[in-house]
Amino acid sequence: MTYQPQYYLGQGKTFFGLRDANGNPKSLRWLGDVDEAKITFKTTKVERKESWSGERGKSMSLVLDKEANLDLTLMDFSPENVSQVIFGKNSLIANGTVTGEVLPSGLLSGDRIALKYPQASAVTITDSSATPVTLNSSKYDVEAVYGAITIKDATGLTEPLKVAYTHGGVNSISIFSKIPDDVYFRYEGINLAQGGAPIIVELYRLKTEPLKELALITEKQGDMKISAEVLIDSTKPADGEMGRFGRILQVSTA
């Protein structure tokens, strides 16, 4: 019989999906461009070296437990991906109008204040006197995209100052605002070393870790490295063909 080696060089799509009550995946969400995806395996063993031969040979090795972890390097900073890795909630804030947003007291020339919402326009600043005085627009600068105001001159006004403005829509992603659900992972890949043969990897139940680092200023393209622990899935039978952790499917196209 002729030996036919099967090498592997992979590319493909990675997906996360929530699980239903029966452990089955719901709708799958593509994670977009992923630079690296790998699974690491580990076992914990108890071992014994015998004491009778003079060689202290290993006489027993018993596997106590098995562990697996998934590591992904995400290149796509979509709101869904970012909220996934920072345990946040992704909210779409619609266009709106703000009246009476109070600025800090004790403002001096050159002070910069961040408004609650970015993409600010039609900005008006008034003081808190009995008959509110409107600050002339020449006495402050507005950086509309970032929703920031720089005070140039606020002398003779009664604090606190109040701002009215309109703002554009924005995605707001809160940090550490929710506990993530267990997720299902699926890889739909092609083996370039075998003529593009399809391969599928499924991990039934993952507990994701938060993003370890989010580089804000960098000289190289940003990425998001995340890890997830592979947990046992009690909805699967212990002796079933699917296993309780996951499976690898080498799909035949013949």
Q: Kindly report, residue by residue over 120-144, the tens digit of the pLDDT.
A: 999 999 999 999 999 999 999 999 9
Query: Which helix (DSSP H) or strand (DSSP E) does residue 228 occupy?
Result: strand 224-230
Contact 200, 186 (CB under 8 A): yes
Q: Which two tokens stand for residue 103?
A: 């600025």
- Above 90 in pLDDT, residue 215? yes
Helix, coil or strand: residue 82: helix
d(CA 133, CA 154): 11
Say what the pTM is: 0.85
CB 186 within 8 A of CB 202: yes
Judge whether residue 254 has pLDDT over 70: no
- 9 pLDDT higher than 80: yes
Other CB atoms within 10 A of residue 90 CB: 15
How far apart, in whole angstroms, are the C-alpha atoms of residue 80 and residue 140? 37
Strand order across the 96-102 sheet = 96-102, 162-167, 120-126
pLDDT at 237: 86
229 CB neighbour count, 10 Å cutoff: 14
Model confidence pLDDT, tens digit, residues 69-89: 999 999 999 999 999 999 999
